[in-house]
Amino acid sequence: MRLWIAILAVIVLIIAGGLWLEQSILKTTDHISRNLDLVKEAVRNSQWQTALEMYAQIETTWQMQKEHWTPLIHNHDIERVTIYLARLKGFLESEDQGPSLAEIAEMEIQLIQLHQQEVLTFRNVL
């Protein structure tokens, strides 16, 4: 009987952890996406200082979450977002509109894919 209780407790912990991770990813990707929209608008309006300030907020959020997600998510996916952020910073600092907007678009796609890969669905479980 104790074995069944232990197995049930482990299953509940796994499910709870998955739901927590899903909510964390959803909350963070939504927050970053909203800030990326603000960066995109600032870039389109040539407000480079505002874009860099919004970028700093995105980078801070990403660095904090990256540490929590590293043991749970493929490092390749995390590294891709980190690389996009680094390239975006370079483009923002050089005030290069086209590549900045392209990096934002790539990052938005990667964040959507990250969320879809980690969400708890029947397809992802199998």
CB 81 within 8 A of CB 114: yes
Expressed as residue numbers, the domain containing 80 is: 22-125
Range 107-120 average pLDDT: 80
* Higher pLDDT, residue 20 or 11: 11
Whether 11 maps to a domain, the answer reads no
Task: Give the pLDDT confidence of 66-110 residue by residue, as tens digits.
Answer: 887 777 777 788 889 899 999 999 999 999 999 999 999 999 999
- Tokens coding 45: 């309006």
DSSP 8-class letter at 45: T
CA atoms 112, 54, 69, 104: torsion sign: positive
Whether 17 maps to a domain, the answer reads no
What is residue 91's predicted lDDT score, i.e. its pLDDT? 95
What is residue 126's predicted lDDT score, i.e. its pLDDT? 54
Task: Give the pLDDT confidence of 17-64 residue by residue, as tens digits.
Answer: 878 878 888 888 889 999 999 999 999 999 999 999 999 999 999 998
Whether 3 maps to a domain, the answer reads no
CATH of the domain at 81: 1.20.120
Whether 54 maps to a domain, the answer reads yes
What is residue 90's predicted lDDT score, i.e. its pLDDT? 94
Q: How confident is the model at residue 124 (pLDDT cuts 50, 70, 90)?
A: low
